[in-house]
Structures are given as structure tokens and as C-alpha cells.
Amino acid sequence: MYSTIQFLHSYWAYLVLTILVLATFNALIKFFGNKEFQANDFRISLFALIVTHIQLLLGLILYFVSPFGLKNITANGMGGLDSFSRLLAVEHPFVGILAVVLITIGYSKHKKKLTSRPKFKVLSIFYTLGLILVLSRIPWSNWF
Ligand code: HEM
């Protein structure tokens, strides 16, 4: 169970980062370029929302089955974690959830806007923040 979820979460992360980078830059470039909001812009922002939600689900399961998630905190206490263990058990999960919340807010807010520029503006702000948060707390040294 643990190794399957760990494998899925690890490889799904490539898709999450690729789509999130594409959706974020798409919104930024079209906001600054004053472009019309088209069906493909909707699709890529929706796709980014879906892949990040799947990653959230995998991450939540992993948090309870991994020896580096909740089990590490229960075994050693918060004070007993070194900085890398804290990254895996606390910072990465917490910041990951926050990033998904921001992406979800951005997606739902953009749907309520009626014209192109406000749609791209909201997506640019919330997806950029989400992307920065995700990138800031990925356990890079474990991953590569
Ligand atoms: C939303 C974007 C997220 C991305 C891109 C992401 C990506 C990653 C990556 C690349 C790793 C390292 C995998 C490896 O060692 O091969 C990892 C580990 C981990 N992630 Fe996430 N993650 C995300 C969200 C979350 C969330 C929301 C949680 C929990 C609530 C979570 C829980 C964990 C845990 C516990 C580990 C360590 C697992 C282990 O090595 O046993 N992740 N994540």
C-alpha cells in the first residue's frame, strides 16, 4: 500500500508541475498580452485543478501510511524532527494543501468573471501563488 501510493504521488508530481506551470504561464502571458479568453484557456486551468486535486488525495493517503508522515510525528514528537523530517511531515503537506486551496479559489473566482481580462487576472494571481508554494516545499533531494 505504502510503496504504491508513494510511487503514484512521486510520478504524478511530474504531471502536476508540468500542467501547473503551463496553466500559470498561459494565464500570465494572456493577461499581459490582453488576449481573449478561449475554450483552451478554460481547459488548461480546469486540467490544472484536476491534477492538483488528485495529488492532494494521494498526498493525504500518503500522509497516513508513510513512515515519513504522521507516523514520524507520533513516534518522535514535533521537537524530535530534524529539518528534513519536518519538511516531509509538516511543511510539504501543509503548504501543499494551502497551494491546492489557492488554486481552487482561483479557479472558482475566474468562472464568476464575465470578461477575459479579469478571468486571466484572477488565474494569474492564484495559480502563481499556488505554484510558488508547491515549488518552495517539494522535497527535491528525495525526488531526484
Ligand atoms: C500539491 C502538490 C504536491 C506535489 C507536487 C507533491 C510532490 C511530492 C514529491 C515530489 C514528493 C517526493 C516523492 C519521492 O520521494 O519520490 C512528495 C512526498 C510526500 N508528499 Fe507530496 N506533493 C504535493 C502535495 C502533498 C500533500 C497535500 C500531502 C499531504 C497532505 C503530501 C504528502 C507527502 C508526503 C507525506 C511525502 C513523503 C512520502 C514518503 O517519502 O514516504 N504531498 N510529494
- What whole-number percentage of the chain has pLDDT above 90? 97
Pocket of ligand 1 (CB under 6 A): 6, 9-10, 13, 16-17, 52, 55-56, 59-60, 62-63, 66, 68-69, 88, 92-93, 96-97, 99-100, 134, 138-139, 142-143
Are the C-beta atoms of 45 and 131 separated by less than 8 Å?
A: no
- Amino acid identity for residue 94 in this structure: F
How far is C-alpha 115 from the chain's CA centre? 26
Task: Tell me how far the alpha carbon of residue 93 lies from the centroid of ligand 1, in angstroms.
Answer: 7
pTM of whole model > 0.85?
yes
Given ligand 1 and candidates 60, 92, 136, 140, which is best to mutate, with the most ligand atoms within 8 Å of its CB?
92
What is the number of other CB atoms lying within 10 angstroms of the CB of residue 122?
Answer: 22
Total domains in the chain come to 1
43-69 tens-digit pLDDT: 999 999 999 999 999 999 999 999 999
The Cα–Cα gap between 139 and 74 comes to 21
Q: Tell me the torsion sign for CA atoms 51, 98, 86, 141.
A: positive
Q: Please state the atom number of ligand 1 nearest to the C-alpha of residue 68.
A: 41
User: Measured in angstroms, how far is the CA atom of residue 123 from the centroid of ligand 1?
Assistant: 24
**How confident is residue 23, by pLDDT bands cut at 50, 70 and 90?**
very high
Ligand 1 atom nearest to 97, measured from its CA: 27
Q: How confident is the model at residue 144 (pLDDT cuts 50, 70, 90)?
A: confident
Query: What cell does 64 get?
Result: 497516513
What DSSP element (H or E) covers 9?
helix 2-32
Q: Ligand 1 pocket test: pick from 53, 62, 84 the residue with the most ligand atoms within 8 Å of its Cβ.
A: 62
Q: Which ligand 1 atom minimizes the distance to the CA of 69?
A: 35
Contacts of 86-95 with C-beta under 8 Å, sequence gap 24+, read: 87/137, 87/139, 88/139, 88/142, 91/137, 92/137, 92/138, 92/139, 93/59, 93/63, 93/69, 95/133, 95/134, 95/136, 95/137
Q: Show the domain range for 33.
A: 2-143
